[in-house]
Structure 1
Amino acid sequence: MALNKKKASESLTTMTELVLPNDTNTLNNLMGGHLMYLMDICGAIAAQKHSNRIVVTASVDNISFKEPIALGDVVTIKAHVSRAFNSSMEVYLEVTAGNIPQGTMRETNKAFLTFVAVDQSGNTIMVPELVPETEKEVALFDGALRRRQLRLILAGKMKPNDATELKSLFDSSPN
């Protein structure tokens, strides 16, 4: 049974949160673990929108904390599916923080999370193919196979020699 294709824009999810005292560390900055929690929720919603299924988090790529997010800042997380494979979906997330009284907004984080669609019994299930439309969506889509293969190698689920998109990184023979 062929699944309908979906656009990346159909999975776009935006979450906004105010950083409150209970969410901060002793420096009055948002705790990194709390931000990761919010990113996981936003990413899962985007993956659910794409697949119309229950999803589980399969992997989280590197999350770099560019700068602190302060008490009172408004955090906005935007996520959308960047590529769909058989049952997994790579989701791209961007995080910004803003100080509304000062009128400032800054990008604080970017990340890729991978979710897998499952049925009610927890078995993996096929997801629709993704159709990128914008230049940015095409660039994210094109790089997704390399990122996926690297994730699988690092998880021990793929041998470097089998990573067709990464051969040049692992080929030790001279040119």
Structure 2
Amino acid sequence: MNKEFKHITESQVTITQLMLPSHSNFSGKIHGGHILNLMDQIAFACASKHSGNYCVTASVNKVDFLNPIEVGELVTLKASINFTGKTSMVVGLRITSENIQTGTIKHCNSSYFTMVAKDKNGKSTAVPGIILTNKQEIRRFARSITRQRESTNRTSRFNEKVFKVDEYLHLFENSNSKIELNK
């Protein structure tokens, strides 16, 4: 049963997982790829719960690993719908880790996954809208709209057909690069 609009709380998902030695990289910290896999899973769960359909990841906006995660820590991933379009949703993710012995909690990552709902034939399908009930939810929705517009502008500005090298050469003045244009 699909509703026309849903409260954000209806599709929020939280998972907590113990980080094992098998999840670690060569430096003994939890491998970023493992965390990305968990992030994709919870984004899928949240978007599917909201839409009532199978969902696919369309894009991931900015993944910053803020603090390392240690073996033996509990990692909590929280997912919430921040924005709904016609067939897409932006799922906001927040990842924290907790040292079981000290109780110290650290923010490890925040990210935004754009998910698209698919029908039984694999075609994009409409999703319910979200009901915004507080300033924080309105801020997140507005931020998603702004992020989408900036992404479109960034993409069009650097399109190969319209890009003008001379307008950007000043950016290279103090960079670790050397330009040798073929004439």
Q: How does 1:21-100 map to 2 (within 5 A)?
A: 21-100=21-100
- The letter for the 1-side match of 2:38 is L
State the one-letter code of the partner of 1:16. Answer: T
How far apart are 1:149 and its partner, in Å? 2.5
User: 1:173 matched to which residue of 2?
Assistant: none
Structure 2 residue matching 1:14: 3-state secondary structure? strand
Deviations 1:129-157 (A, max 9, x none): 11122322111011111112334455x5x
TM-score (norm 1): 0.84
What CA RMSD, in Å, does the superposition of the two structures yield over aligned residues?
Answer: 1.6
Correspondence for 2:105: 105
2:67·2:106 contact (CA, 8 Å) conserved in 1?
no
- TM-score (structure 2 length as normaliser): 0.81
Offset at 1:3?
5.0
Larger Rg: 2
Q: Which runs of 5+ in 2 are unaligned?
A: 158-183
- 2:113 aligned with 1:122, yes or no? no
Distance 1:59 1:85 in 2: 14
Aligned residues: 156
| 1:142 match: secondary structure | helix
> How many Å separate the matches in 2 of 1:8 and 1:152?
26
What amino acid maps onto 2:59 in structure 1? Answer: S
Taking the aligned partners of 1:139 and 1:27, their CA distance within structure 2 comes to 38
User: Which amino acid is 2:32 matched to?
Assistant: G
Shift of 1:28: 1.4
Unaligned 5+ segments in structure 1 are: 161-175
